[in-house]
Structure 1
């Protein structure tokens, strides 16, 4: 299989010069106005590779292990209680999960001053790009690429679900990729236990990949919500644009039930030549795909108000995917339809998806490990104060750096 390209083609930036701090134990950088302070085992050069609302991400070499890592600075990590909880959850989960298709944690950098810190630095494996950038690039993607990405997502999810964990926030930007097409799932800040029956109080998951049961505020959610997200992601890989790009909560449900999907004819999409385009635009009329759910498909909804809402929506028939995407393999479309089943109780599981004929060439149950030690969310059962969360994160940093001395 051919490789995929890197994140962008921008020229390299000038080296950032560090200042030695805290008795020589730390190096402090000013990166585009962002303070970035890391331990001396990480030597220059430091290269910024991403930034967001949380802070900044830089690549740097660990000179003790000779490994390039990505270090994410979470600025003011304890200003918001939910954000601090997400940070602690992600650290604990990444330390517990060990799988080829899950990003590996390499470090939690000890703070310069114990207890008196507000920023958290997390080191992980360094990857080249993510599926979000690839989808929106001019990078050619064959169906073989998309199939291999799908297989790796499902392989990683099998392990995650076996650990009693639901990822909850799967989307292209949370799927990291190397040039050799290796894929790793990241960002476990919203992950929940699969045994939990209460609705997520901090639910802010990306709308476009949100399963119907979450849009309907179902209290009985399961690992099936991840499978729906994977179906949306796979169609986005093929189509080179989001399947259900809802503007808000209500619009998202309308897009699913009315299923009016506009197909991109991206020049590098496998379906580019399979969809006729008009002379005036490189897209085709919206078409009904999922359709309005039947009473049987609504059977999982316990809330009567939600049932009434769904029954009063305009009725649209479901159209088989094979009639809409005639050039795609029917076996691939069958898997997609099973992943995008409205009723989560009828939706295909990750294990069943891996055994589907579409993935027969890649599937090897002996090479699809499970987690034999389920993850415990017990630390979340108590109402943790800011100082307690700070101490727990500090403990994680010291466990990862047993030789660090103040």
Structure 2
């Protein structure tokens, strides 16, 4: 049932959830839901393009939720890159700060994902080169801002808006030096340092995940398919070998050091022997990404320069995001203070100059 509210807005129930959205967005259809929000696809009547609209679940129910909402909004406003989902619009139906309770994030709609694509057909090598190049290009951009994306699994729904055309769900991004638990990333794509919370994560935590995704595209199946955390680590070490003493000494957790030192010694396997029919340049790229020691992995910028991606490379297009100021996100504020900051961010939002049809990576 649709009810018109104040000028320019209407109310519509989406699976028993009340949405009050700007009149330009029609044909709301739920495409995803999670702990922090619901996502609908919609038609933007101004541009004729399909968009994704995210309504955060009670964003001001606690200081933690309010801080998360503020952070997600700021990060989305900061990003302006072809391979990173940015913000097309943000609005609230509430007339004043006193009434402010809900707001909606409008982003390009991504109609497909790699998981679906891989189930439909075997990807050609040219496509794999191009797609991984685009992923690395997006990561170079966001890593320059000091943001770790925490690349997740291949089977992203349209709601989570990932690899095809963009690489981001900033509700899950973290600044580069913050502690993160390992439960968000699908296990098969988690970097080894995430599995046992070995150390502070660096930007190369994302590179490991890209290597796992690339290997799956080449092989048609996951490279590391563990049944639980420790089994995942075992599957990884069957290929990478057990860590060197030098690497073990870097681990911040004594429990992790003790666990690793008790493992049977395993030698590193040659990836070419596991994937005998794969282009040696692809193997070299995987070898550079899938290293146990995060400090030894290539960065996104270094990955772009690998020979495997030469055919698609355009260094002038490999841009970097401007620095992102994390200090407001890390402040301790009351719910009311966070709400005031979010409201200000909404009021100061400037939409893209040209809102074109959603860009999807050519498949």
Fold match, TM over 0.5?
A: yes
Which residue is 1:335 aligned to?
285
1:322 deviation in Å?
A: 0.4
**Alignment partner of 1:391 is 2:351:** no
Name the SS of the counterpart of 2:202 in structure 1: coil
* Gaps in structure 1 of 5+ consecutive residues: 1-16, 260-288
Whichever structure has more helix as a proportion of its residues is 2
1:173 deviation in Å?
A: 4.6
Q: In 1, are the aligned partners of 2:112 and 2:164 still within 8 Å (CA)?
A: no
Q: State the Cα deviation string for residues 93-138 of structure 1 (Å, max 9, x = none).
A: 1111111100121122213254445443210012211223333x32
Name the SS of the counterpart of 1:359 in structure 2: helix
Q: How is 1:39-78 mapped onto 2 (pairs within 5 angstroms)?
A: 39-42=22-25, 44-78=26-60
1:123 is aligned, of 95, 102, 106, to: 106
1:205 is aligned, of 184, 195, 204, to: 184
1:154 deviation in Å?
A: 0.2
Q: How is 1:136-175 mapped onto 2 (pairs within 5 angstroms)?
A: 137-173=119-155
CA distance in 2, matches of 1:116, 1:256: 52
Which residue is 2:15 aligned to?
32
CA distance in 1, matches of 2:125, 2:67: 39
* Gaps in structure 2 of 5+ consecutive residues: 352-363
Which residue is 2:170 aligned to?
188
Change (3 A) 1:26 1:84: same
Change (3 A) 1:24 1:117: same
2:261 is aligned, of 302, 306, 311, to: 311
1:176 deviation in Å?
A: 6.8
After superposition, the CA RMSD in angstroms is 2.6
1:80 deviation in Å?
A: 5.2
**Runs of 4+ in structure 1 over 6 Å off:** none
Change (3 A) 1:28 1:239: farther
Larger Rg belongs to: 1
Which residue is 1:349 aligned to?
299
Normalised TM-score (structure 2): 0.86
Which residue is 1:368 aligned to?
318
- Count of residues paired in the alignment: 346
CA distance in 1, matches of 2:31, 2:190: 28
Which residue is 1:324 aligned to?
274
CA distance in 2, matches of 1:161, 1:293: 26
Q: State the Cα deviation string for residues 178-198 of structure 1 (Å, max 9, x = none).
A: xxx95311201232333x3x5
